Chain A
């Protein structure tokens, strides 16, 4: 199977005067259309690793290869295009634009990529809205829906450009356990349906265990890397 994301010898050091190394020689490869979870204690470096993987942050040393493309020499604009077209982000907070409706929020990554919204785009958005179960509130302002609905909107938004990879940093961190269950079912369902690769940071052991692969980070190093036989 093809490797969709490769991390080679990633080191991350924060600070100029007082240097704190957060990641130590991380080497990881993720296969296409797998569902991966990253666990670890608070402060172990999970978010740092994810931000570097998603090109939101740069490693102090080491290389990130996304979909076969080495990102080391890319400039800010090229990285922006790469993120827009191949990566979907879901964060702990939904970060929806409160000035826009659910539908409009979902279409924003599409509008960053394309000048005009086509009928097909609207159809895809409708389909995603249907999958995440937001048909009733699709024309509500992003502020006028529940927390779980907001997070599901963020998920649909992450998927609108049909990304190769979805990176989730505790996407259910703010949701109750019932809703968490629903959201994970949803992510797995999407993973199967669109063959999207998921890399999800989670604190929830039960959730992690359902993944194809569990990676545990401890003090900036890979402590454990378990793959389930498929």
Chain B
């Protein structure tokens, strides 16, 4: 085997042009594979992140027609013990109106605990002005609402509830969630303030949660359902509500896999045909090796090793180029706002897998040429000089 390996590497070294050509083929193949794979992965991740990164991924809601359910300490404790959850935010929401210069606008008044809500919505980072409410009856409002009505931090606004209660609250900050609908209607304040405006003591409209692995939201949600065993609530996860997005993603993945398979196929055919030619080119050497007693198996290993060597070196270089290409793409191709169109994202498992496939496939591509060496008869070579 050692001899086969050293002959294989000598053959590759002595035919530098041919070796370079196959290597370039494999490198391009692997690089394109990794580039396309990482690009699509990055795209999908950023798409999913934009869609649900700052939203509730699993939501506990009152069941049926109820608007509220009672806050249950045991339930919240259970949830906070669940390792799969990265954020748990209890909320008290109610619709109301805001009265500005005698005109009223419908709004959604959201009562939250900011420390928890920030883990989902990141209000603290999305404030364009002012601060998170620190006192009772302080609130933050969306940027569109503020601009449309010329409201500033420190202003007081009047809230009207459908029940006719009228309350003055002070604007402590203005946020921009990058979704104009939310920026127009959300008024977010501490949960106790919200409850007191509506005269509710310990009711909740929802518990919003985020999960570690967003694609397992349905599984986690199912676990929670079993675990909490409460009948007056429903549990929803983002996957149920975003089926179109999900089918779009899986379509994208499928087309990415197709591209990768065809790239790989082209590379394999290349390796296989070049090595097949090489068997003919090296028939003198193979002939004399056989006369000197090399076994057919060893002789075919000379070509398998060539495939293995080419595959390994090609895959390594291909990974380097592929990652570089992906990185360069993420740096130079930008959104109008300066962020990367596709964020640089590297999935080590995917890259390792691509490299491994390239190595295995290159070795397999050498199988047919390797088998051809068995047919080679030393006398034919010796007779023909």
Contacts and interface: CB of A to CB of B under 8 A. Distances in A.
Are chains A and B native binding partners rather than an unrelated pairing?
yes
Interface of A: 47, 51, 54, 56-57, 76-77, 80-85, 89, 91-93, 95, 97-100, 108-109, 111-113, 115-116, 157, 169
Interface stretch (B31-39, B73-81, B120-128, B376-384): B376-384
A112 B3 contact: yes
Nearest to B383: A47
B372 to A, nearest CB: 16
A56 B7 contact: no
Interface residues of B, number: 27
Nearest to B6: A111
Given A81-B293, A89-B291, A97 B7 contact: yes
Nearest to A105: B288
B292 interface: yes
Given A47-B383, A56-B378, A115 B2 contact: yes
Contacts of A112: 3, 289, 292-294, 298
B14 interface: yes
Contact of A99 (B14, B287, B294, B298): B14
B296 to A, nearest CB: 6
B2 A80 contact: no
Given A56-B378, A84-B293, A95 B288 contact: yes
Given A51-B379, A97-B7, A99-B11, A89 B2 contact: no
Nearest to B284: A95
B379 A111 contact: no
Across the A-B interface, the 5 shortest Cβ-Cβ residue pairs: A84-B293, A95-B288, A99-B10, A99-B14, A83-B293
B195 interface: no
Interface of B: 2-3, 7, 10-11, 13-14, 284-285, 287-298, 378-379, 381-383, 385
A115 B190 CA distance: 78
5 contacts: A56-B378, A76-B296, A80-B294, A95-B382, A99-B14
Contacts of A93: 382, 385
Nearest to B13: A99
A114 B379 CA distance: 25
A109 B285 contact: no
B383 A108 contact: no
Taking each of A54, A81, A112, which has the highest tally of chain B beta carbons within 10 Å of its own beta carbon?
A: A112
A123 B71 CA distance: 90
A194 B381 CA distance: 30
Contacts, number: 74
Nearest to A47: B383
Nearest to B294: A112
Given A57-B379, A116-B2, A98 B292 contact: no
Given A47-B383, A56-B379, A98 B291 contact: no
Taking each of B11, B297, B378, which has the highest tally of chain A beta carbons within 10 Å of its own beta carbon?
A: B378
B295 A56 contact: no
A100 B382 contact: no
Given A95-B284, A95-B287, A108 B2 contact: no
A108 B3 contact: yes
B145 to A, nearest CB: 78
A100 B291 contact: no
Contacts of A113: 293
A108 B382 contact: no
Nearest to A84: B293
Given A56-B379, A116-B2, A85 B13 contact: no
Given A80-B295, A83-B293, A116-B2, 8 more contacts: A47-B383, A83-B292, A89-B291, A93-B382, A95-B291, A108-B3, A112-B3, A112-B292
Contacts of B288: 95, 97
A221 B287 CA distance: 28
Nearest to A93: B385
A226 to B, nearest CB: 28
A84 B292 contact: yes
Contacts of B381: 95
Given A99-B11, A115-B2, A77 B295 contact: yes
A98 B11 CA distance: 9
A109 B295 contact: no
A111 B3 contact: yes
Contacts of B295: 76-77, 80-81
A99 B13 CA distance: 8
Nearest to B286: A97
